[in-house]
Amino acid sequence: MSVKSRHLYNSKWELTYRWLKASVLGRKHYYCSCCRKDLKLGGGLANVEMHATREKHMKNEANWEEELLFPPDVLDEEAADDDGGCTSTCPMTQNNGTTATPVPM
Ligand SMILES: [Zn+2]
C-alpha cells in the first residue's frame, strides 16, 4: 500500500502506447520499442507522455510502425528476387546493342 506505486510501471499503459514495454531494469523504468531504449520513470505515466512527444521518439515511432507493416526480412527477400530478374534481361539489352553497332565491310 504505497502512494508512490502510481509512479511505478503499469502494464495498463501499454494499451495507450503500443511501443511501451516493461523494462528489464525493473518497475522504475520502462522500455520504448521505437527508440530501443530503457528509460527512467521518474514521474510515472507523465514521463512516458513526455517521451511520446519528443521529436526523436516520433521519428523512431514512424519507422517502427513501417517495420511492423513491412518487416525488413521480407523486403530483403523481394530485393533478391528482383536481382535475379535483372540478370535475365541483360542478354536482351545486348541484342539491342548489336543492331545499333555498324558493321564495317
Ligand atoms: Zn521512444
Q: How far apart are CA 31 and CA 101, in angstroms?
A: 63
Distance (angstroms) between ligand 1 centre and the Cα of 64 equals 10
Distance (angstroms) between ligand 1 centre and the Cα of 61 equals 7
Give the model confidence (pLDDT) of 80-99 as tens digits: 555 555 555 555 555 555 55
Distance (angstroms) between ligand 1 centre and the Cα of 22 equals 13
* C-alpha grid cell, residue 60: 523512431
Least confident interval from 4-13, 15-24, 40-49, 91-100: 91-100
Q: With beta carbons less than 8 A apart as the criterion, state whether 57 and 18 touch.
A: no
Distance (angstroms) between ligand 1 centre and the Cα of 13 equals 14
Q: How far apart are CA 34 and CA 18, in angstroms?
A: 10
Res. 75: pLDDT tops 70: no
Distance (angstroms) between ligand 1 centre and the Cα of 16 equals 14
Distance (angstroms) between ligand 1 centre and the Cα of 18 equals 11
- The residue that leads in pLDDT, 3 or 52, is 52
Res. 39: pLDDT tops 80: yes
